[in-house]
Amino acid sequence: MHKVGFWGCGNLAKIIAEKLSDGTVTGYQIVGAYDIDPDAAGKLSQICGSKACGSMDELIELMPEYIIEEVSPVVLKKEAFRIIRRGINLIVLSCGAMADDSFASRLAEYAEKSKAKVYLASGAIGGFDIMGAARLMGNLKASVINEKSPEALNGAPYLKGRLLDKEKEELLFYGTAREAIDFFPQNLNVAVAAATATSGVDNTSVCLKSVPGMALNTHIIELEGNFGNASLKISSYPSANNAKSSEIAAWSVLYILWKLRRSIVFY
Ligand SMILES: NC(=O)c1ccc[n+]([C@@H]2O[C@H](COP(=O)([O-])OP(=O)(O)OC[C@H]3O[C@@H](n4cnc5c(N)ncnc54)[C@H](O)[C@@H]3O)[C@@H](O)[C@H]2O)c1
């Protein structure tokens, strides 16, 4: 059994823990779960019979082979180095942190030294295979369009407390992926992930719309380069307990864990 630890015990962590515990993905034992909210860590630990940790140090001391991050880009940036320095592999959901160049390069440096791997989960989108191949072929330009319900966007720093109209569609933001994640840290991890894999956070445009009545979160990624062009559209259901997150994001972590145990996999 491979030992895993949870860093963050909220909505997505719960789905992952349930599916590791009910045998949907086998071969992993959840040894510990840490959340700044001890109640959340306690509840998650009950699902999977793991230790509820009171600190990151306690989680690290259990020496899991993988720590799954489901916290936030800001928290990830503060604490990721400690995990990687100990040679523990990190599975990341808050990919928005990768917009910070100095964080990304330091993380790579530490990982190189400790031989730990950082796995960026595909989250609520996909197509990283074609993005990667197209990037290698050169001249790649990417843009991302995101459409979400006002309920999924309310509370974002960009809105400064303003509540979005429940009836009227609104073009909320147009800018680069780097700007986008600061304004919408809980909504636009996907934009940074797509940008990081393609034309970079300063050269990938992001458009975000608030669309009342939308039952699904929709992401459209347009690619154009030496390879030709591609249009990827992913519409996914928000997770039941957090309209800002898509449930498929939790399953993308389960898919990483599933792949890690297979000899023949798609890359
Ligand atoms: N890459 C993607 O496509 C994608 C998709 C959906 C969500 N996400 C990201 O995944 C992360 C988790 O999403 P979620 O829906 O589970 O969020 P959530 O709010 O339900 O859970 C986050 C948990 O982190 C805990 N937390 C906050 N600060 C902490 C700290 N300093 N130390 C330890 N724990 C702390 C909270 O108490 C909470 O339990 C978010 O960053 C979200 O933006 C990424």
Q: Which alpha helices (H) appear in the chain, and where do they start and end?
A: 11-21, 38-48, 56-61, 73-85, 101-114, 128-137, 150-153, 177-183, 189-197, 247-260
Give long-range contacts, CB 8 A cutoff, 24+ apart: 224-229.
224/140, 224/141, 224/142, 225/134, 225/135, 225/137, 225/138, 225/139, 225/140, 225/141, 226/134, 226/137, 226/138, 226/139, 226/140, 227/130, 227/133, 227/134, 227/137, 227/140
Q: In this predicted structure, what is the pLDDT of residue 174?
A: 97
Nearest protein Cα to ligand 1, atom 32:
36
Give pLDDT tens digits along the chain (267 positions): 999 999 999 999 999 999 999 999 999 999 999 999 999 999 999 999 999 999 999 999 999 999 999 999 999 999 999 999 999 999 999 999 999 999 999 999 999 999 999 999 999 999 999 999 999 999 999 999 999 999 999 999 999 999 999 999 999 999 999 999 989 998 899 999 999 999 999 999 999 999 999 999 999 999 999 999 999 999 999 988 888 889 999 999 999 999 999 999 998
Distances (CA, A) of 166 to 8, 122, 207: 31, 30, 19
Q: What is the spatial order of strands in the sheet that 2-7 belongs to?
A: 51-53, 28-34, 2-7, 66-69, 89-92, 118-120
Instruction: Please indicate whether residue 5, judged by its CB atom, sits closer than 6 Å to ligand 1.
Output: no
Report DSSP state, residue 5: E
Q: In this predicted structure, what is the pLDDT of residue 240?
A: 87
Measure 44 CA to ligand 1 centroid, in angstroms: 14
Three-class DSSP category at 109: helix
Three-class DSSP category at 55: coil
Q: Locate the ligand 1 atom nearest the alpha carbon of residue 123 and give its number.
A: 3
Q: In this predicted structure, what is the pLDDT of residue 186?
A: 87
Q: Locate the ligand 1 atom nearest the alpha carbon of residue 186 and give its number.
A: 43
Measure 31 CA to ligand 1 centroid, in angstroms: 19
Phi then psi dihedrals of residue 168, to 5 deg: -105, 130
Instruction: Please indicate whether residue 252, judged by its CB atom, sits closer than 6 Å to ligand 1.
Output: no
Residue 2 a catalytic site member: no
Catalytic residue among 219, 239, 248, 249: 219
Partner residues linked to 210 by β-bridges: 148, 170
Cβ contact 253:16 at 8 Å: yes
Cβ contact 178:202 at 8 Å: yes
Instruction: Please indicate whether residue 75, judged by its CB atom, sits closer than 6 Å to ligand 1.
Output: yes
Q: In this predicted structure, what is the pLDDT of residue 183?
A: 93
Q: In this predicted structure, what is the pLDDT of residue 243?
A: 84
**Substitution site in 19, 47, 53, 70 for ligand 1 pocket (most atoms within 8 Å of beta carbon):** 70
Distance of CA 184 to the CA centre of its chain: 13
Instruction: Please indicate whether residue 124, judged by its CB atom, sits closer than 6 Å to ligand 1.
Output: yes
